[in-house]
Amino acid sequence: MIRGIVFLTLTLLIVALIPFVGPVVIVMTPLPIVYFFSRLGRVGGAAALAVAFFTASALLGLMGQSASITVLAMICFTGAVLAEVLHRRYSVEKTFLIASLAVFFCGAGVVLAVSFLSNAAPWHILQHYVQGIMDEHLRLSEQLSISADQIALIRENTREITEFFIVVFPALALSGAVLTVWMNVLAVRSLLRRQGDGLPALGDLSLWKAPEGLVWVLIAAGVTMLLPFDVIDSIGLNILIVCCLLYLLQGLAIVSFFFQRKRVPPLLRWLFYLLIAVQQYMVILVIAFGLFDLWVDFRKRIAGVKDAPA
Range with lowest mean pLDDT among 2-11, 102-111, 124-133, 182-191 = 124-133
Q: In one letter, which amino acid is 309?
A: P
Angle (deg, nearest 10), helices 169-192 and 92-118:
130
Sorted by where each begins, the domain ranges of the chain are 1-115+176-203, 205-304
Q: Does the pLDDT value for residue 67 go beyond 80?
A: no
Q: What is the pLDDT of residue 70?
A: 79
Q: What is the pLDDT of residue 113?
A: 79
Q: Does the pLDDT value for residue 216 go beyond 90?
A: yes
**Cβ neighbourhood burial of 20 (10 Å; 0-12, 13-18, 19+):** exposed
Question: In sequence order, what are the residues at sequence separation of 6 or more whose Cβ sits closer than 8 angstroms to the Cβ of residue 251?
Answer: 285, 286, 287, 288, 289, 290, 291, 293
Q: Residue 288: which pLDDT band, with cuts at 50, 70 and 90?
A: very high
Distance CA 96, CA 104 (A): 12
- The listed range with the strongest mean pLDDT (23-32, 177-186, 285-294) is 285-294
Section 214-233 average pLDDT: 88
The pTM (predicted TM-score) of the whole model is 0.81
Distance CA 94, CA 102 (A): 12
Q: Does the pLDDT value for residue 33 go beyond 70?
A: yes
Q: What is the pLDDT of residue 309?
A: 44
